[in-house]
Structure 1
Amino acid sequence: MLVLEDVHKVYGKGKDKKVEALKGINLKVEKGEIFGVVGFSGAGKSTLIRCVNLLERPTSGKVLINDVNLLELSPKELRKERRKIGMIFQQYNLLHSKTIFKNVAMPLILEGRPKAEIRKKVTELLTFVGLEDRMDHYPEQLSGGQKQRVGIARALATDPDILLCDEATSALDPNTTEAVLDLLRKVRDELGITILMITHEMNVIRDVCDKVAVIEHGKIVEQGPVIDVFTEPKTKIARSFIRTVLNDKIPASVRKLIDESSKENPHGIYRILFKGASTSTPLISNTAKKFDVDLNVLHGMVTELQGIPFGNLIVEFKGPKEEMDKAIQYINDHNALIKEVDQDGI
């Protein structure tokens, strides 16, 4: 288990030169979880992940791995604990003059492991990531996705308990990203390794993470299970990230046409969120039949979060106000979340 308690990181000295990169970070990543931290550039994501293995030493706070506070260890003890933490980088960080075999073997070579043990371990790891036929190649002979697979194999060489991923997919195309995320799931499911993932891509959070934290200006402003944050985001920044995945903002021209066509009758635009079994219920159809309202679906999608179906609809309601109120209450009573959408589509 990984726990960060009130972690601060301040750069520079003197009152006017200080930069607070992290401002009291509190996170708990349970064993076997894939935990994502999402934020814009400059939010403090990379500083946070580098504080976990003390590549950046926190100014204050605690970094606990299996109840051991890394900040209290001697240099020798810290080196030993760091073997339990693997790291995957955005730009792969491979040695271009070494073969793929040597790149993966490097952590074991530095530890002085026997050659036979190294060959056995590296062969197993390259087979695990699907590159057993590339061990004698060099990095420039591989695609970006293959290089990242090498990086994952190298990070697994010391049998870590925790794997840190710093924007591990941001340099990859969508298909390659999906393949790398599948591999990270395999790492978690088959090897039982806990993964902390830093990213600015909400689709990565959606596709692979169990929990997510949103970081802004060095602070965690929202966190929780992915499905809860997606269905009921509490902060503006979380909603903006989710929108990059849902892509459901109503164009201004469409909004204008709706407003002009609805001047005579009360109307409203609502977001309806379904999860689990409610996604298969004909709730919109039943609502239109039961009440004197017209329903115009402006956007609709169904996706999956943590294996749970999740539906998102943007619907225009039009009709007598009392009928609209009854229809909204009916939807609320049938395991769906409904909220009016404002002019910004939120």
Structure 2
Amino acid sequence: MLVLDDIHKVYGKGKEKKVEALKGINLRVEKGEIFGVVGYSGAGKSTLIRCVNLLERPTSGKVLINGVDLLALSPKELRNQRKKIGMIFQQFNLLQSKTIFQNVAMPLVLEHRPKEEIKAKVTELLSFVGLEDRMNHYPEQLSGGQKQRVGIARALATDPDILLCDEATSALDPNTTEAVLDLLRKVRDELGITILMITHEMNVIRDVCDKVAVLDGGKIVEQGPVIDIFTEPKTQIARSFVKTVLNDSIPKSVQKLIDESSKENPHGIYRILFKGASTNVPLLSNTAKHFSVDLNVLHGMITELQGIPFGNLLVELKGDREEIERAIQYIREHDAIIREVEQNGI
């Protein structure tokens, strides 16, 4: 388990201009979770992940790995703890003059492990990532996705409890990204390793993470299960990230209906959000049957988030105001979220 407790990181000392990169970060990543941290450039993502293994030493706060505060350790104790923290990088960081076998073996060589043990471990890891037939190749002979697989194998060499991923898919095309994310799921599911992912790609969060924190200006402005952040983002920055994956912008034709709605012609445009079991109920059909309202679906989509069905629909409700209110209450009672869309599109 990884806990970041009130982490601050300030650059600059004395008369130097101080820059506060992290401002009271609190995170709790449970064993076996894939936890994502998303933010724009300059939000503090890279500083945060480097504070986890103390490549950057926090100015204050605690970094707890399985209950051990890394900031309280001696240099020797810290070196031993770091063996339990693997890391993969955006640009792979492979040694070009070394073979794939030698790159993966490097952490074990530095620990002076026996040659036979190194050979067995590296062979096992390259088989795990699907590159056993490339062990004698050099990095320049591999594709970007293959290089990242080597990076993952190398990070697993010391049998870490936690794997840190710093923009691990940013340099990859969509198909290769999907393959690498599948491998990271395999790392979590088969090896039980906890993963902390730093990214600016919300599709990565959607596809692989259990929980997500949104970082902005060195602060976590929102965090929670991925399904909750996607379906009910609380902050503007979270909504902007979600829109890069689930575009719920209102079409011009629907916006015109919203702008033209009035009390004299009682009707309204509503956004209905379904998730989980509520997507399996014919809720809109039942609503139209039970209440004297006209219900017209104007726009929407049905998708999956972390294997959980999710629907986002824009509907028009026409009828007597009291009957519309009864219909809205009925929808809410069936575990769906419904809210009226105002003239500004919100």
* TM-score normalized by the length of structure 2: 0.95
Partner of 2:241, secondary structure, is: helix
- Which stretch has the larger CA shift, 326-335 or 254-263? 254-263
- Which stretch has the larger CA shift, 150-159 or 278-287? 278-287
**Paired position in structure 2 for 1:266:** 266
**Paired position in structure 1 for 2:119:** 119
- Spell out, residue by residue over 1:129-188, the C-alpha distance to the aligned partner (whole angstroms, 9 max, x if none): 011111111112111111111110010011100000011111112111111111111101
**Paired position in structure 2 for 1:329:** 329
CA deviation after TM superposition for structure 1 residue 7, in Å: 0.3
Query: What letter corresponds to residue 290 of structure 1 in structure 2?
Result: H
Query: What letter corresponds to residue 125 of structure 1 in structure 2?
Result: L
- Which stretch has the larger CA shift, 217-226 or 297-306? 297-306
Partner of 1:117, secondary structure, is: helix
Counterparts of 2:109 and 2:76, CA distance in 1: 18
**Paired position in structure 1 for 2:186:** 186
2:94 counterpart of 1:94: yes
CA deviation after TM superposition for structure 1 residue 261, in Å: 5.8
Does the C-alpha gap of structure 1 residues 9 and 342 become closer, same or farther in structure 2, counting only changes over 3 Å?
farther
CA deviation after TM superposition for structure 1 residue 256, in Å: 4.2
CA deviation after TM superposition for structure 1 residue 15, in Å: 6.7
2:220 counterpart of 1:220: yes
Does the C-alpha gap of structure 1 residues 205 and 6 become closer, same or farther in structure 2, counting only changes over 3 Å?
same
**Paired position in structure 1 for 2:313:** 313
Matching of residues 246-265 of structure 1 within 5 Å: 246-251=246-251, 253-259=252-258, 262=261, 265=265
**Paired position in structure 2 for 1:75:** 75
Counterparts of 2:336 and 2:225, CA distance in 1: 18
* TM-score normalized by the length of structure 1: 0.95
> Is the 1:34–1:196 contact (alpha carbons within 8 Å) kept by the matching residues of 2?
yes
Does the C-alpha gap of structure 1 residues 256 and 211 become closer, same or farther in structure 2, counting only changes over 3 Å?
closer
CA deviation after TM superposition for structure 1 residue 207, in Å: 1.3
CA deviation after TM superposition for structure 1 residue 342, in Å: 3.7
User: Any stretches of 5+ residues in structure 1 without a counterpart?
Assistant: none
Matching of residues 265-284 of structure 1 within 5 Å: 265-284=265-284
Query: What letter corresponds to residue 334 of structure 1 in structure 2?
Result: H
**Paired position in structure 1 for 2:33:** 33
- Which stretch has the larger CA shift, 303-312 or 167-176? 303-312
Query: What letter corresponds to residue 141 of structure 1 in structure 2?
Result: Q
Counterparts of 1:344 and 1:171, CA distance in 2: 37
**Paired position in structure 2 for 1:176:** 176
Counterparts of 1:283 and 1:207, CA distance in 2: 27
- Which stretch has the larger CA shift, 233-242 or 141-150? 233-242
Counterparts of 2:255 and 2:229, CA distance in 1: 30
Count how many residue pairs are aligned between Structure 1 and Structure 2.
Answer: 345
Counterparts of 1:178 and 1:271, CA distance in 2: 31
Does the C-alpha gap of structure 1 residues 261 and 302 become closer, same or farther in structure 2, counting only changes over 3 Å?
same
Counterparts of 2:242 and 2:167, CA distance in 1: 18
**Paired position in structure 1 for 2:210:** 210
- Which stretch has the larger CA shift, 164-173 or 257-266? 257-266
Counterparts of 1:211 and 1:260, CA distance in 2: 37
User: Any stretches of 5+ residues in structure 2 without a counterpart?
Assistant: none
CA deviation after TM superposition for structure 1 residue 344, in Å: 5.0
Q: CA RMSD in A?
A: 1.7
**Paired position in structure 1 for 2:55:** 55
- Spell out, residue by residue over 1:83-109, the C-alpha distance to the aligned partner (whole angstroms, 9 max, x if none): 100001011111112111111111111
CA deviation after TM superposition for structure 1 residue 215, in Å: 1.1
**Paired position in structure 2 for 1:110:** 110
> Is the 1:21–1:217 contact (alpha carbons within 8 Å) kept by the matching residues of 2?
yes
> Is the 1:3–1:65 contact (alpha carbons within 8 Å) kept by the matching residues of 2?
yes
Counterparts of 1:240 and 1:342, CA distance in 2: 19
**Runs (4+) of structure 1 moved beyond 4 Å?**
260-264
Does the C-alpha gap of structure 1 residues 314 and 15 become closer, same or farther in structure 2, counting only changes over 3 Å?
farther
Query: What letter corresponds to residue 218 of structure 2 in structure 1?
Result: G
Counterparts of 2:247 and 2:232, CA distance in 1: 16
CA deviation after TM superposition for structure 1 residue 260, in Å: 6.0
CA deviation after TM superposition for structure 1 residue 226, in Å: 1.5
Counterparts of 1:240 and 1:14, CA distance in 2: 38
